Structure 1
Amino acid sequence: MKLPSLKKPLIFVGPPCSGVSLISNIVLHHPELCWLDENFEKHPTSNFQHKLFKYTSGWRAKANKFPAKSLRSAIANDFSPTPTEATLFWDSMTRDDVDFYRGFARGKHASPMEISEIKKVLSNRMVTAEKSRLALRFTGPARLCYLQSLFPDAKFVHVVRDPASTVNSLMSLEDWEFQGKNMLWWRGTYSLQELAQYDLLRRHAVAGTAFQLNKLLQTTKQEIDELDLDLMTVNYEDFVANPSQTLLNLLEFGELDPHRDVERAMKRADIRCSNKVLKMPATDINTVYTWCPAP
């Protein structure tokens, strides 16, 4: 096994409902990758939880070896850890003006203390779990400036999707009803003019959601243009059309060898064409593209 290292972590970013969770979850079946789960979020310094992850993370691969609807597959999935963003961990390790829950962290850099403490915890996780590469996922604001200051050699995967499909999926989420459907969910980088503009859209859920999605995409684009990043953009529609080739390209970018566990996970995943699930009225689609033009 390769020695654990925090060099060149693979970091997935993208708006919610863009496919970033689906694509990253497939790639995170790669046996070299160490990722964060709910137990880590609750107990990030627990060696017991890290050792438990070492064994239970392998159950995800075993679940894909069994027949899809078999009892063994169900049991393996039930006891397998699930990748998370570990938002509580990041919020607990960063200062007050770096908000990993709802903030953009635009132009924010990790302090020397944050770099030391965060890397200490993550390194211990990797060593105890006996994994050689770190992988992270963040949906919403990409926070590329902060993450690059923490990991200067990180390899970023930016997942994007057609705006109308993304808004349609967001609108169908139960949580969005209490988050961004009638209010600005992400905060910290809107100008006074943008705040005034959103106030006019507040009662139109589709327009307001598209407005917020556009802010996510534009802010990420600005960070990409400003920073010297090792970054690959993955279009969700391209992934749906050819998942095998997209994943091979992604693994090559991440300097990971192809692996049967990733292939099995891909075959089990619910990969659907966004156009087939898009049932928005034509007027709503036009509204989305008005406030969030397709890139």
Structure 2
Amino acid sequence: MNVPSLKKPLIFVGPPCSGVSLISNIVFHHPALCWLDENFEKHPTSNFQHKLFKFTSKWRSKSNDYPTNSLMSALANDFSPTPTEATLFWDLMTRDDVDFYRGFARGKLASPMEISEISKILEARVASTEKERLALRFTGPARLCYLQSLFPDAKFVHVTRDPASTVNSIISSQEWEFQGKSMLWWRGAYSLQELAQYDLLRQHAVAGTAFQLNKLLQTTRQEIEEVNADLLTVNYEDFVANPQQVLLNLLEFAELDPDLNVGRALKRSEIRCSNKVLKMPATDINTVYTWCPAP
């Protein structure tokens, strides 16, 4: 077997509720890709967990071969791993001022020690699972400066969605009630003027959430320009309208051959139309676009 490398890792980024998890989960069915699961997050250096992943991840693809409501499909799904962002791993491996839980990490670069230690663990993961490429996913701040300093030849996929639809989905989630509904959830990129502005919005869930979403999108655009990232932007509405073509374009960008497993995963996925925003009150829609204009 060739010496493992982290050449051209595929990294998905995007705001929460933008479709980044759905699209990446489908692409992660590609047999060439090695991704991270909950067991890796808990035991990132365990060779046993890597080998277990190699076996159980096959069940994830196998589940697409069985009828949707069959017992075998249910068993395959129950016993197969699912992709995760592995936030605990990234927080453990990075210094205090690089926060993969709530931080923007604006302008932060990986230190030589971080590059060495993180690469060593991820190379072992790829080698143990006998995959060709590493694949990662991050929702929230893109952290492109840090990630590209860690993976100079990374191929990034930035998933975006209509701001009103995104805000509507975010504030409908139970987690947001205890996260950013009435406080700034992501930290480290706001000016004093922006902090003062948010104080006037914090009691208005729609406006406050749109304000935070705008900051995510704004900082990602800035980072794309700063690092000149090899990046493909995927619009969720385009994906809903023509998922097969969008996936083909994505795989071509990623330098991955079309694969039946990805196609089968697409057919089994619940792709929801993003026009739920039409159910929002007109005043809320206007509020979203006031604080987070559509690009």
TM-score by length of 1: 0.98
Q: Distance in 2 between matches of 1:54 and 1:160?
A: 31
Aligned to 1:223: 223
Tell me the alpha carbon deviations over residues 12-69 of structure 1, each in whole angstroms, 9 at most, x when there is no partner: 0000000000000000000010000000000000000000000111111100110000
Whole-Å separation in 2 of the counterparts to 1:143 and 1:36: 18
Alignment of 1:79-118 (within 5 A): 79-118=79-118
Show the counterpart of 1:61: 61
Is this contact kept in 2: 1:4–1:131, CA < 8 A?
no
> Which residue of 2 is the match for residue 30 of structure 1?
30
Measure the CA separation in 1 of the matches of 2:132 and 2:39.
Answer: 20
Q: Which residue of 2 aligns with 1:134?
A: 134
Shift of 1:146: 0.1
Q: Is 1:155 the counterpart of 2:160 in the alignment?
A: no
- Taking the aligned partners of 1:147 and 1:63, their CA distance within structure 2 comes to 32
Whole-angstrom distance in 2 between the partners of 1:185 and 1:255: 35
**For this pair of structures, how many residues does the alignment match?**
295
Q: Which residue of 1 aligns with 2:282?
A: 282
Partners of 1:71 and 1:161 lie apart in 2 by: 35
> Which SS does the other structure have where 2:136 is aligned?
strand
2: CA distance, partners of 1:240 / 1:3 = 39
- Alpha-carbon distance in 2 for matches of 1:225, 1:191: 20
Determine the structure 1 residue equivalent to 2:233.
233
The residue identity in structure 1 corresponding to 2:213 is L
CA contact (8 A) 1:36 1:86 kept: yes
The one-letter code sitting in structure 2 at the alignment partner of 1:43 is: H
Give the drift of 1:277: 6.1
Deviation at 1:272, TM superposition (A): 1.3
1:192-238 per-position Cα deviation (integer Å, ceiling 9, x unaligned)? 00000000001000000000000000000000111121100000000
Report sequence identity in percent.
Answer: 83
Equivalent-residue separation in structure 2 for 1:2 and 1:68 (angstroms) = 37
Tell me, in whole angstroms, the C-alpha distance in 2 between the residues paired with 1:130 and 1:26.
20
Structure 2: give runs of 5+ residues left out of the alignment.
none
Asked if residue 264 in structure 1 is aligned to residue 252 in structure 2, the reply is no
Contact 2:85–2:137 (CA<8 Å) still a contact in 1? yes
Q: Separation in 1 of the partners of 2:276 and 2:261?
A: 28
**Aligned partner of residue 201 in structure 1, secondary structure:** coil
| 1:148-193, Cα deviation, whole Å (9 max, x unpaired) | 0000000000000000000000011000000000000000010000
| Residue type at the aligned position of 1:234 | V
How many Å separate the matches in 2 of 1:180 and 1:244? 34
SS at match of 2:279: coil
Please tell me the root mean square deviation across aligned C-alpha atoms, in Å: 1.0
Contact 2:33 2:134 in 1 (8 A): yes
> Which residue number in structure 2 is paired with residue 48 of structure 1?
48
Mapping of residues 172-191 of structure 1, within 5 Å: 172-191=172-191
- Residue identity opposite 1:138 in structure 2: F
1:284 Cα deviation (Å)?
0.3
- The CA distance in 2 between the partners of 1:115 and 1:294, in whole Å, is 36
Q: Give the 5 Å matches for 1:64-79.
A: 64-79=64-79
Query: 1:3–1:281: structure 2 CA closer, same or farther, 3 Å change rule?
Result: farther
Query: What 5-or-longer segments of structure 1 have no aligned partner?
Result: none
Indicate conservation of the 8 Å contact 1:34/1:133, yes or no.
Answer: yes
The code of the aligned residue for 1:87 comes to: T
Q: State the 1:5 CA deviation.
A: 2.7
Give CA deviations for 1:129-154 in whole Å, capped at 9, x if unaligned.
11110000000000000000000000
Amino acid at match of 1:112: P
Identify the range of structure 1 (3-12 vs 147-156) with the bigger mean alpha-carbon deviation. 3-12
Per-residue CA deviations over 1:78-123 (Å, capped at 9, x if unaligned) read 0010100000000000000000000000000000000000000000
Map of 1:124 onto structure 2: 124
Find out whether 1:212 has 2:224 as its counterpart: no
The Cα of 1:278 is off from its aligned counterpart by 4.5
Does the Cα contact within 8 Å between 1:98 and 1:108 map onto a contact in 2? Answer: yes
Separation in 2, partners of 1:278, 1:189: 32
